[in-house]
Structure 1
Amino acid sequence: MVLLNMYSVSHFFIWSTAGRFFLTNWQIFFLLSIGWELLELVLPYEFAVEDWGNKGMDLVVNTLGFLIGTRLRYDGLIDQISNTTSQNQPGP
């Protein structure tokens, strides 16, 4: 039983990008993340065929990716850039 696979890596990058640039609401994140895992139960595609352990790890990886993405939103370069540019503005 493999708990992490290449799809787990894609889950991490998708959710970290979503948290960094698009989404800040944790309730919506959980709704979308769990909803997708439930949708995979009925999809007739190979990528959707996983055991329960992998689905659980997907949710863990999704959460870590979203958490890191939202942390980068607030602690990242955007705050540093905005502080730097506001300090370089001419005074009155």
Structure 2
Amino acid sequence: MSILNLYSLGHLLMWFGISRYIFTNWYIFLALSIGWEILELYLPYEFAVEETANKVSDLIVNTIGFWLGIKLRNEEIEN
């Protein structure tokens, strides 16, 4: 399994949308993002089975998406 996959794109777009339109609190983001990755360790579904490197890359992609959404949101507010 590769470190980046189609789910990575989904993570990026989801967190981008959340931070752009819903909330920008980093504490809530970290709790939800890390919490979901931990929950996936216990889910009995095929999509949740992945290597540790993929979980780390998911967190990185989540952070990039969240940061980009906040950046665009703030730029829109300034203009």
TM range (shorter): over 0.9
Aligned equivalents of 1:39 and 1:79: distance in 2?
Answer: 38
Aligned AA (1:21): Y
**Could you tell me how far apart the structure 2 residues matched to 1:29 and 1:55 are?**
16
Letter in 2 for 1:47: F
Two-structure CA RMSD over aligned residues (Å): 1.1
Distance 1:46 1:6 in 2: 14
Match of 1:89 in 2: none
Q: How does 1:1-92 map to 2 (within 5 A)?
A: 1-76=1-76, 78-80=77-79
**Which of the pair has the greater relative contact order for Cα pairs under 8 Å at 6+ separation?**
2
Q: State which structure, 1 or 2, has the greater radius of gyration over its C-alpha atoms.
A: 1
Q: Which runs of 4+ in 1 moved over 4 A?
A: none
Structure 1: state its 5+ residue gaps.
Answer: 81-92
Q: TM-score, normalised by structure 1?
A: 0.82
Identical aligned residues as a percent: 54
- C-alpha distance in 2 between matches for 1:26 and 1:61: 15
- Unaligned segments of structure 2, at least 5 residues: none
TM-score, normalisation: structure 2: 0.94
Residue of structure 2 in register with 1:87 after alignment: none
Tell me the CA shift for residue 74 of structure 1: 0.6
CA shift, 1:79, in A, is: 4.3
